[in-house]
Structure formats: structure tokens, C-alpha cells
């Protein structure tokens, strides 16, 4: 038996979907129960991650992608992640500004999400929201993230097809991405391709990939102008091809398992970290260590080791 909320989502009730996402986002008991209920109904949607540095044109590209998917008769769920302020934990979520025309389209559901601090929980939340939208029956679910840092690399585990958005003239920026994002992106797009240097940017990306290990899926390199929609049909074609690969190629099973493993590990990492932090803070153990390390009476590595030992002892007692 599905709960009332889960049943509402499956039946296409948009209000129930919106409420459910809030529960998943806040990681409430209801949210967890919901995800357990809904998971067997997921797996049908194409799930797509769009990542790249701030200003690369991700929001505009997501809007253009959604329009093209709609032209092809598919319904679209969008999750746009923006950073929370590390000071106030508040956020201004402005991605709807570039997606105004989509708000009136009943075949589109767009949700803004704040990253809400750094407990490794961003991927955790995003993958949960992707699952809820998948279960709600959207044909395509797109996640847009700020492409900087480990957290965002982990968000790639929330989706099957990850698209990396770069710009002409961003050579240095592309360099800095190679460590993480190049490995996890299955499609590369140079956006704003009407600016000078688009071909150079494509070449740079190709060059970086050449030094990466050989994989079953060879990432295509595309050019697009999200603002006008140029190159967007080709991008959707490339995503469709990757989805085909993920679902039906001889590597499909291995890739599904790889994604499942990455998801589980990222959830474990987040959960363990949260628990360990709570345990370390509970009796003020961390404060004493911080004072010692700050005064250089003790090195941070041994402090970390003793903290981990203390946490482990706590857990053993429990």
C-alpha cells in the first residue's frame, strides 16, 4: 500500500509532488518512507545532470533543453541547485528567471534547491528528488548544479547522463575541471559557441579526454548557443544515444551497478560523516582538539585520528 502522499505523486498530483520534495529535501521521516515506497517505480525517466562553472550558461541551456524535449513530446522535471550562504544558510534561488516561459507549461515541473550546507548531503538530497520526479512519471529529469568542488562531482551520481558545459576562452577553467568533472561527464558542450575560440575550447576538451582512461562510452563534443537554441537538438540526440547506451548496450548492467554503488557510497559517506560529527561534538571532544591544534601543540592528523577513535568507541559502547 502506498501512503496518501506517494499515491498522489504517482497519480500526477503536482501539489503532492511539491510537498514530497520538501520532505525529501529536509530528510524527514516521511521523506525517507516515501523514497522507500517510490523507488520500485523509478528507472523509467531519462536522468540528466548539467554541470559547469558559474556563468557557463547552465540555466539557459537547461531551459533550451527542456523546450526541445517538450517539442519531442516528453514531459520534463527540472531541479536547479544553487549554493546556500555559508554564513546565514539562506539562499537566493534565481534560476526560474531564465525559465519563465516553462512555468506556464503543464508538462514541466521545476524546483529550485539550495545546497544547504556542506555535510556531503547535496548528492543525497538531489538523488532523492530525482527519484521522486522519476516516480511521478516525468520522461526526462534534469538536474542543474554549480560545477565546482567535490559535492558537485558527487551530484553526478544522481543522474545517468552528465553533461559538462564549458565556454570559449575558458582554457584555464577547463584545465581545473579535468581532475573531477572530465571523468564523470559523458557529454561535453561548449556553450556560447558564437564567441571567438569555440573550436579551440573543443580541442582543449578533446585533448584532456585523450589522456583519460579508455571507456566503453566515448563522450561526444558538441557546440551550442543556448540563448538561440542552436545545437540543442544535437545535444538532445547525444543524450538519447547515451541513454540508449546506459539501457541497452552490453555495458548497461555494469554501468547500472556502477551508478548504484556510487549512490550507496555517497549516501553512506554523508550519513557516517553526519553521525560522526554529531558524536564528536556531543561531549565537546572536538573543541579541546581544536584548541591544541590551533596553538600548534598538536598536529591535525593525530587529532583527527584520536577523534575517529573516540567516535568509534562511542559507537562500540552503543
Residues that bind other proteins (CB under 8 A): 14-15, 18-19, 21-22, 26-28, 84-85, 87-94, 96-97, 100, 103-104, 109-112, 114, 116
Q: Closest by alpha carbon to 220, among 250, 240, 200?
A: 240
CB of 116 to other proteins, least distance (A): 7
Gap between the Cα atoms of 242 and 238, Å rounded: 6
The alpha carbon dihedral of 275, 92, 123, 176 has a sign of negative
Closer to other proteins by CB, 98 or 245: give it: 98
Q: What is the nearest approach in angstroms of other proteins to the Cβ of residue 4? A: 12
When the beta carbons of 17 and 205 are compared against other proteins, the nearer one is 17
* Beta-ladder partners of 166: 190
Contact 254, 89 (CB under 8 A): no
**Quick one: which of 185, 188, 197, 194 has its CA closest to 230?**
194
Q: How far is the CB of 8 from other proteins (least distance, A)?
A: 11
Q: How far is the CB of 73 from other proteins (least distance, A)?
A: 21
| Nearer to other proteins (CB atom), residue 84 or residue 167 | 84
In the complex with other proteins, which residue's Cβ is closer, 35 or 153?
35
Q: Which is nearer to other proteins, 40 or 90 (CB)?
A: 90
Instruction: Tell me how far, at minimum, the Cβ of 132 lies from other proteins, in Å.
Output: 12
Q: Are 113 and 80 in contact (CB under 8 A)?
A: yes
178: number of CA atoms within 13 Å, CB side? 15
Q: Which is nearer to other proteins, 93 or 276 (CB)?
A: 93
Question: Shortest Cβ distance from residue 43 to other proteins (Å)?
Answer: 23
CA angle 250, 257, 209 (to 5 degrees): 70
d(Cα 80, Cα 110) in Å, to the nearest integer? 8
Amino acid at each position: 500500500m502506498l501512503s496518501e502522499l506517494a499515491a498522489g505523486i504517482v497519480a500526477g498530483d503536482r501539489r503532492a509532488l511539491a510537498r514530497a520534495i520538501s520532505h525529501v529535501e529536509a530528510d524527514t521521516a516521511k521523506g525517507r518512507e516515501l523514497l522507500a515506497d517510490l523507488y520500485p517505480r523509478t528507472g523509467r525517466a531519462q536522468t540528466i545532470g548539467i554541470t559547469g562553472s558559474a556563468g557557463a550558461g547552465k540555466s539557459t541551456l537547461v531551459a533550451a533543453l527542456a523546450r526541445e524535449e517538450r517539442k519531442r513530446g516528453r514531459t520534463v522535471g527540472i531541479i536547479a541547485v544553487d549554493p546556500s550562504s555559508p554564513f546565514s544558510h539562506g539562499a537566493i534561488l534565481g534560476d526560474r528567471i531564465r525559465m519563465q516561459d516553462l512555468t506556464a507549461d503543464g508538462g514541466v515541473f521545476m524546483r529550485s534547491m539550495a545546497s544547504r550546507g556542506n555535510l556531503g548531503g547535496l548528492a543525497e538530497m538531489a538523488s532523492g528528488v530525482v527519484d521522486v520526479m522519476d516516480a511521478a512519471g516525468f520522461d526526462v529529469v534534469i538536474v542543474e548544479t554549480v560545477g565546482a568542488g567535490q559535492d558537485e562531482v558527487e551530484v553526478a551520481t544522481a543522474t545517468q547522463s552528465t553533461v559538462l558545459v564549458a565556454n570559449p576562452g575558458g582554457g584555464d577553467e577547463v584545465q581545473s575541471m579535468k581532475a573531477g568533472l572530465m571523468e564523470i561527464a559523458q557529454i561535453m558542450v561548449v556553450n556560447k559557441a558564437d564567441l571567438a575560440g569555440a573550436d579551440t575550447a573543443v580541442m582543449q576538451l578533446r585533448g584532456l579526454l585523450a589522456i583519460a582512461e579508455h571507456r566503453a562510452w566515448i563522450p561526444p563534443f558538441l557546440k551550442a548557443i543556448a540563448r538561440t537554441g542552436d545545437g540543442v537538438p544535437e545535444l538532445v540526440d547525444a543524450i538519447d544515444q547515451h541513454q540508449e547506451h546506459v539501457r541497452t548496450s552490453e555495458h548497461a548492467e555494469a554501468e547500472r551497478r556502477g551508478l548504484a554503488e556510487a549512490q550507496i557510497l555517497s549516501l553512506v559517506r554523508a550519513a557516517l560523516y553526519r553521525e560522526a560529527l554529531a558524536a564528536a561534538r556531543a561531549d565537546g571532544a572536538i573543541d579541546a582538539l581544536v584548541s591544541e591544534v590551533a596553538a600548534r601543540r598538536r598536529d591535525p592528523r593525530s587529532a583527527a585520528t584520536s577523534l575517529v577513535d573516540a567516535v568509534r568507541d562511542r559507537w562500540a559502547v552503543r
